[in-house]
Amino acid sequence: MRYYIADLHFFHANMNYEMDMRGFEDAEQMNEYMIKQWNGRVRKNDEVMILGDFSIGKGEETMEVLKRLNGAKFLITGNHDRFLEDKKFDTKLFRWIKPYEEVKDDKRKVILSHYPIFCYNGQYRLDKNGNPKTYMLYGHVHNTHDERLVNRFCEITKETLAFSKGEQAEKPIPCQMINCFCMFSDYVPLTLTEWIKVDEERRKKLI
């Protein structure tokens, strides 16, 4: 099984008192809860795509967390992942580390980036039933005003008509951008199908 999650921010105590207001007593309590939530879902042979800002901890302490987390880990680099610069950090704890990637997931293309990409590769592609074939998964903006701006862009895009290749009439532009912010899933890595459902329900409340 393949899962996705973003912006865990291990060791980032300020996430409890600023911006996210996560509500844990300290970084240690937050770390332990996130590890518990992760391992409650992910099994040894599963894959987890981490969309950046995994940890602000030092190399050695970040390695200890990674060793406790089930599954094969893949990292899309975020702006806070400075542990990667620590010479003591073993990068082999991740299957790969990249700034951007495109993967297949149950016949669907998935664009992976820490930062939201408004005009992503494959955005217009639909299957024979008119369903999206490409999804853009991102992090970085957490649940801030920036995420509300992304939501406004998505709504404007979906209301905009344009010609697609092979079409005889204008149709609304597809826009499948999903914020995989860890707090939206109670710190549990989710499948693409699960994130699609979570995102759909969440965005209804933003309109």
Residue 196: the pLDDT is 97
Class of domain 2-206: alpha beta
The list of the chain residues with pLDDT below 70 reads 166, 207
Q: What is the pTM of this model?
A: 0.96
Residue 15: the pLDDT is 97
Quote the tokens at residue 180: 């995989």
Quote the tokens at residue 44: 């040894």
Cα distances (angstroms) measured from residue 190 to each of 47, 116, 164, 167, 202:
11, 18, 31, 34, 15
pLDDT tens digit string along 76-121?
999 999 999 999 999 999 999 999 999 999 999 999 999 999 999 9
**Residue pair 164/141 in contact by the 8 Å Cβ criterion:** no
Residue 205: the pLDDT is 86
Residues near 92 by beta carbon (within 8 Å), at least 6 away in sequence = none
Residue 207: the pLDDT is 63
Residues near 130 by beta carbon (within 8 Å), at least 6 away in sequence = none
Q: Residue 164's CB: how many other CB atoms inside 10 A? A: 14
Locate the domains of the chain by residue range.
Answer: 2-206
Residues near 28 by beta carbon (within 8 Å), at least 6 away in sequence = none
